Amino acid sequence: MILPIYLYGQPVLRKEAEEIEPTPELKQLIADMFETLTAAEGCGLAAPQIGKPWRLFVVDGSELGEDYPECKDFKRVFINPELIEESEQTCTYSEGCLSLPGISENVVRPETIVLRFLDENFEEHEETFTGFQARIVQHEYDHLEGHVFTDRISPIRKTFVRNKLASIAKGKTGARYKYRRN
């Protein structure tokens, strides 16, 4: 089932998400999140973006395979992730977000990270991500902390996107996919 994506201005996007435990409904929710992500042609979706304040996100980099070969088969589920290490080396990529339609901005982040997390079977992994994989993971991880990528752009760029953000929050800007707004 395709779920509505919560847009900027919805309070759930600003909450610190809570750890989750296995429940019978979780498998279906994860399947729905992947379906929602594919329908919206995105590469990552965090539970707060569908209105659930939970530490869960899914990624699917298959759309990005041409530009970022490391993402071609990058389809994963992350539950209760913990950021263990971040490299001092940073890199800059242009980011967008399904909750912030029509906005894309350069964001500087660590190039490599180490993440501890559970997969969809609640098996623990500790894994190093780099390049655009690390980028997607950090962007989604931010959602679990109540952050969006425009929190991380330069002050001057923030003034440029302020009106666009306000327009989304006021319900004047929508998205081409199923969404929910104030």
For residue 107, state whether it binds Ni ion (rule: CB under 5 A).
no
Q: Which is nearer to Ni ion, 2 or 27 (CB)?
A: 2
- Least Å distance between CB 33 and Ni ion? 13
Q: How far is CA 74 from CA 61, 123, 179, in A?
A: 5, 18, 25
Q: How far is CA 127 from CA 78, 85, 134, in A?
A: 11, 10, 10
Q: Which range in 22-30, 70-78, 97-105, 167-175 contacts Ni ion by CB under 5 A?
A: 97-105
The backbone torsions φ and ψ at residue 61, rounded to the nearest 5 degrees and listed phi first, read -90, 10
For residue 97, state whether it binds Ni ion (rule: CB under 5 A).
yes
- Kindly state the tokens that stand for 27: 């498998």
Q: Which range in 4-12, 19-27, 96-104, 112-120 contacts Ni ion by CB under 5 A?
A: 96-104
Segment 45 to 74, residues that bind Ni ion, using CB under 5 A = none
Q: Which is nearer to Ni ion, 29 or 59 (CB)?
A: 59
- Least Å distance between CB 128 and Ni ion? 22
Q: Which range in 8-16, 20-28, 95-103, 126-134 contacts Ni ion by CB under 5 A?
A: 95-103
**Any catalytic annotation for residue 140?**
yes
Name the catalytic one among 95, 105, 111, 140: 140
Q: Which is nearer to Ni ion, 117 or 135 (CB)?
A: 135
- Least Å distance between CB 22 and Ni ion? 25
Q: Which is nearer to Ni ion, 58 or 97 (CB)?
A: 97
Residue nearest to Ni ion (CB): 97
The residues binding Ni ion (CB under 5 A) are 97
Residue positions annotated with a catalytic role: 140
